[in-house]
Structure 1
Amino acid sequence: MNDKVKVAIIGPGNIGTDLMIKVMRNSRNLEMGAMVGVDPNSDGLARAARLGVATTAEGIDGLLKLGVFDEIDIVFDATSAGAHARHNEILQGHGIQVIDLTPAAIGPYVIPAINLDAENASNMNMVTCGGQATIPIVAAVSRVAKVHYAEIIASIASRSAGPGTRANIDEFTGTTRSAIERIGGATRGKAIIILNPAEPPLIMRDSVFVLSDLADLRAIEDSIERMAASVQSYVPGYRLKQKVQFEVISAEHPVNVPGLGPVHGLRTSVFLEVEGAAHYLPSYAGNLDIMTSAALACGDLMARRRMDAGIARRRKEIAQ
């Protein structure tokens, strides 16, 4: 008996193709049902077809026509924030669980190391690559001290930024900033992304700067190390590049934070590196690997919940 849930991926680009390979190689509860695109000459669609996965180049309308559609219970959307709204509206009408890898943020923000167990919405938003890498660190500091301001800088290889990533730069900064505040716990957040054109391409690097109330330095460091280990459990290439750095900001020389005014306390600086698993993408593309790894962790848990609730069985019964 097959006890896995069938999924479809919309968007056969770098992220969608890497996610497909992760589903086929590593998933506990998922199996590929369909790969959906709009370009008949897409390498991702061709690869999916070679692997025996149903494909369509007619977008979501083509997915609805596929014979396997009635067996699909979860859909990953790896397209763009602009396209996701229509996709989600159609899929919700069919009772399908949606996992959003775009910055559309229709559903709640989900970062597996922080809040996956607590969320159970029909649309789950995976924030952004920079958010997946850095917001766990902000949340780790928030577990120990009140965070007034957090700023993250995500630096990725230009080669690992495809058309979808480039089209969503504005949404990246807005969505990441919002998630820094909502699930990272910062009163005020800021997000910056850098596309580095260096050759050979550089691995993903992230810098996190957190301004919080004064707190025990060892407690903050321990919290950050535990959080990093939690992320590493589903993103093996995630690691701290050096020891956590601290600086006391005195009341006599506060930092002026826009929207908050002068703030003093403890500045915590954390420097990260994310190396990709190289399932489909080069190892330097950690920005894409962390998104697909986080989405896979989310999909596996949502599939288990749907199986436990009998939702997957009910959809298959309706299809018959």
Structure 2
Amino acid sequence: MKTKVAIIGSGNIGTDLLIKVIRLSDSLDMGVMVGVDPTSDGLARARRLGVSTTDRGVEGLLGMPEFADVDVVFDATSATAHERNSALLEPHGKLLVDLTPAAIGPFVVPAVNLDAHRTATNVNMVTCGGQATIPVVAAVSRVAPVRYAEIVASIASKSAGPGTRANIDEFTETTAKAIEVVGGADRGKAIIVLNPAEPPMIMRDTVLCLAGDGDPELIRDSVERMVAEVSRYVPGYRLKQQVQITPVAADEPLGTLIDAAPRPSWKVSVFLAVEGAAHYLPAYAGNLDIMTSAALRTAEQLAANAARQRVEVDT
């Protein structure tokens, strides 16, 4: 039996997620699409696909008879809105998958730490840049200590909607924190670039790690295996070129990046591209595709774990 889900937010991310649930998931079933704009394309598309909708936000969702059958709620609104939505939904015992930078629940990057949070009730999907780059930082840190990690996420300006633009500060803060908490870096930094180039470019990500003692070949192999793992749920995720690893020169100034000893041994540079699956948005919107793909994978695993727990209780 499939798990019923609701999606809050009928914009680009919510609508792409709607399509993914319907087309790709063997275990999730669309229950309700929630918005606040009755004329939004997301709500209209959901209705055409036979999905129940409300344009009265979370209050409307709570008043619908379909809400009783919903077990998982995706929030694809904004950081501020999620704080309110979470408070309204918490008494109802639903699993929340947060696609905003609100970070009320633990950070989850499926290829890195989903197993550690299978019993969480409100998980945060970090940011698009975090989903693309934190797996690489984690891959390096599992074979060599990462003293400093810096990521630059470049996305097409056309793929950044009002929600993304309103949450730029939260994006950098949340991603930097998750680089440390999930990626394992001693210190993290995140930068986002909205590229206005025409035609629009697909998402590009650069990861720089200053790593301690470790075998360069083991580092390279770990990164390549992690990229392969992420591409299992984000098919358009790939390395743009071979992982670059160079020694850190003894006289290279690092005082602004690293406060104390030990001094790193290696500079690891990884260049990534993320092409979207174009389920709803153009292929250049890989930044949205990686968020919705990661959220879908997370919800499927959380729902499966909740179902197993119910069986164990019943038996």
Tell me the TM-score normalised to structure 1 length.
Answer: 0.95
C-alpha RMSD of the superposition: 1.5
Partner of 2:278: 278
Displacement of 1:292 after TM fit?
Answer: 0.2
Inter-partner Cα distance in structure 2 for 1:305 and 1:141? 29
Inter-partner Cα distance in structure 2 for 1:257 and 1:297? 38
Partner of 2:16: 18
Inter-partner Cα distance in structure 2 for 1:254 and 1:139? 25
Displacement of 1:106 after TM fit?
Answer: 0.4
- Contact 1:251–1:264 (8 Å) recurs in 2: no
Inter-partner Cα distance in structure 2 for 1:143 and 1:129? 22
- Contact 1:149–1:257 (8 Å) recurs in 2: no
Partner of 2:72: 74
Partner of 2:303: 303
Displacement of 1:61 after TM fit?
Answer: 0.3
Q: Percent identity?
A: 64
Residues 51-100 of structure 1: CA distance to partner in whole angstroms, max 9, x if unpaired? 01110110000001111011111000000000101111121110000000
**Runs of 5+ in structure 1 lacking a partner?**
315-320
- Contact 2:177–2:188 (8 Å) recurs in 1: yes
Inter-partner Cα distance in structure 1 for 2:149 and 2:215? 18
**Stretches of 4+ moved more than 2 A in 1?**
250-254, 256-259, 261-264
SS of 2:92's partner is coil
Inter-partner Cα distance in structure 1 for 2:84 and 2:188? 29
Inter-partner Cα distance in structure 1 for 2:241 and 2:219? 15
Inter-partner Cα distance in structure 1 for 2:168 and 2:260? 28
Inter-partner Cα distance in structure 1 for 2:264 and 2:2? 52
Tell me the TM-score normalised to structure 2 length.
Answer: 0.96
SS of 1:93's partner is helix
SS of 1:301's partner is helix
Partner of 1:267: 267
- Counting matched residue pairs gives 311
Partner of 1:318: none
- Contact 1:9–1:77 (8 Å) recurs in 2: yes
Partner of 1:159: 158
Displacement of 1:253 after TM fit?
Answer: 2.6
Partner of 1:211: 210
Inter-partner Cα distance in structure 1 for 2:35 and 2:308? 31
SS of 1:171's partner is helix
Inter-partner Cα distance in structure 2 for 1:86 and 1:306? 25
**Runs of 5+ in structure 2 lacking a partner?**
none
- Contact 2:148–2:257 (8 Å) recurs in 1: no
Inter-partner Cα distance in structure 1 for 2:166 and 2:19? 24
Inter-partner Cα distance in structure 2 for 1:190 and 1:253? 19
Partner of 2:167: 168
